[in-house]
Amino acid sequence: MIFKATKENITNAGELIKAGDVVAFPTETVYGLGASAYNPQAIAKIYAIKNRPHFNPLISHIAEVDFLKEYAIVDERVLALAKKFWPGPLTFILKRKDDNPALDLACAGLKKISVRMPNHPVALDLIRAAGVPIVAPSANKSQTISPTTAQHVQASLGDAVPMILDAGACNVGVESTIIDVSEKQIVLLRAGGIALETLEEFLGEKILISDGNPNKPSSPGQMLRHYAPKYETRINVEHPAPDEFYIGFGDMDCDLNLSPTGDLQEATANLFQMMHLAEEQTKKHKIAIAPIPNIGLGRAINDRIKRASYK
C-alpha cells in the first residue's frame, strides 16, 4: 500500500524494518525494496517478492560514512570518493572486514560487500529510523523495468509490500554506478547515475570497464536480459517502422521524447518512466528507441536499453 513519506510514516516504516519486514522507499535513482542487512529472513522475503535468483547480492544503504568502516575494508581512496560523491548514485564493492555470517545472505555468500549512501532525505531518514544498514534492490519483479515512482512499485509488486513510501518521482531515474574498489585497479561493474568520466577525472586514473561475462556474472546486474519491457524492443533506431512505438532523443518526431533538447541527464531521468509508458501505450506491441550518444550518462542509458532489447 502507498503511504505519503511523512515523518510519522517514515518512523513506522523504520519499525517495520526493525521487526524484520520489508518496505519500499524512494532514492534518487529508483525506488528500492528495503530490509535490514542483518536479517536473513527479511532478505529472503525480498528475494521471494521480487522473484529474484538467489545468487544476486544486494546493496547495503547507509546514512553515515562511519558505518562503512564497520564492515568493509576501506582505504584513503575510497574515503575520498565517498566524501566527494556521497550521498549520491555511486556504489562501492569492497572487501568484507570480517565474516559476520549475518551479512552472508545480503552478500550472497561473497567475500565482498556493496555499499552506497543514497541522496534522498526519505531514504536517509528511513535508514536512521531503522538503525541498521538497509539492503535494497530495485522495487520491481526481477527482469522488469525499474520503478521510478511509488505507483510503478505498486503495479509491479502489489500488496506483497506492506508499505510503499511515496515521495514522487526519482530525479536521477537510473540505478547507481557500481565500481569495484577492492583492488588497485578500479573496475566499473554497472554504468549508472554518475558518469564514468566524472569519476576518472576526480581520481586522475582510468577505470577498467568490466567485460562482464553475462553467463557467469560477478555482478548479476550484468545479466543480458534485464530491465525488459513486455514487448519486442529495438534500439539505435533512426527510422521506426509504422507499427513501432517510438521513443526519441533530440529534436525529432516520436511518440515520447527522452529529451527534445538532447540533454542526457534529462533523458536518464525520463528513461524508465517512458519505458513504462511505452509498455502501457503501445497498441502495436513493438517499441523502438532512437540512438543515444554513448558518453557520460548516455553509457548508463545504452546499457539499460541494450538489455531491454535482448531477446
Residue ranges in contact with ligand TXA by CB under 6 A: 27, 29-30, 32, 56-59, 89, 91, 93, 107, 110, 112-114, 118, 136-138, 175-176, 178, 189, 218-221
113 vs 163, which CB is nearer to ligand TXA?
113
For residues 121 to 160, the per-residue mask of contacts with Mg ion, x marking binding by CB under 5 A and - elsewhere, is -----------------x----------------------
Which of Mg ion, ligand TXA, none does residue 304 bind (CB under 5 to 8 Å by kind)?
Answer: none
Q: How far is the CB of 223 from Mg ion (least distance, A)?
A: 10
**Residues ≥6 apart with Cβ < 8 Å to 282:** 231, 245
> DSSP character for 89?
S
Determine phi and psi for 172, rounding to 5 degrees.
Answer: -85, -50
C-alpha–C-alpha distance, residues 59 and 176, integer Å: 10
Which of ligand TXA, Mg ion, none does residue 91 bind (CB under 5 to 8 Å by kind)?
Answer: ligand TXA
Q: How far is the CB of 95 from ligand TXA (least distance, A)?
A: 10
Pairing relationship of beta strands 32-36 and 134-135 according to DSSP bridges: antiparallel
Work out the number of other CB atoms within 10 angstroms of the CB of residue 232: 15
Q: How far is the CB of 52 from Mg ion (least distance, A)?
A: 9
Q: How far is the CB of 65 from ligand TXA (least distance, A)?
A: 17
Pairing relationship of beta strands 208-209 and 23-25 according to DSSP bridges: unpaired
Residue that the C-alpha cell 557500481 belongs to: 178
Which of Mg ion, ligand TXA, none does residue 142 bind (CB under 5 to 8 Å by kind)?
Answer: none
191 vs 264, which CB is nearer to ligand TXA?
191
Q: How far is the CB of 143 from Mg ion (least distance, A)?
A: 9
60 vs 138, which CB is nearer to Mg ion?
138
Which of Mg ion, ligand TXA, none does residue 112 bind (CB under 5 to 8 Å by kind)?
Answer: ligand TXA
128 vs 284, which CB is nearer to ligand TXA?
128
Q: How far is the CB of 13 from ligand TXA (least distance, A)?
A: 15
Which of ligand TXA, Mg ion, none does residue 219 bind (CB under 5 to 8 Å by kind)?
Answer: ligand TXA
Alpha helices (H) along the chain: 7-18, 40-50, 65-71, 76-85, 121-130, 150-157, 196-203, 264-281, 298-309
Q: How far is the CB of 131 from ligand TXA (least distance, A)?
A: 19
111 vs 283, which CB is nearer to ligand TXA?
111
C-alpha–C-alpha distance, residues 241 and 13, integer Å: 47
C-alpha–C-alpha distance, residues 132 and 148, integer Å: 24
Q: Indicate the residue whose CB is closest to ligand TXA.
A: 221
51 vs 185, which CB is nearer to Mg ion?
51
C-alpha–C-alpha distance, residues 35 and 70, integer Å: 19
Spell 164-186 as b/e; 16+ CB within 10 A means b: bbbbebbbbbbbbbbbbbbeeeb
Pairing relationship of beta strands 90-95 and 208-209 according to DSSP bridges: unpaired
Question: Taking CA 188 as the corner, what is the angle to CA 153 and CA 66, rounded to the nearest 5 degrees?
Answer: 75
Q: Residue 78 in 3-state DSSP?
A: helix
Per CB under 5 A, residues contacting Mg ion are 138
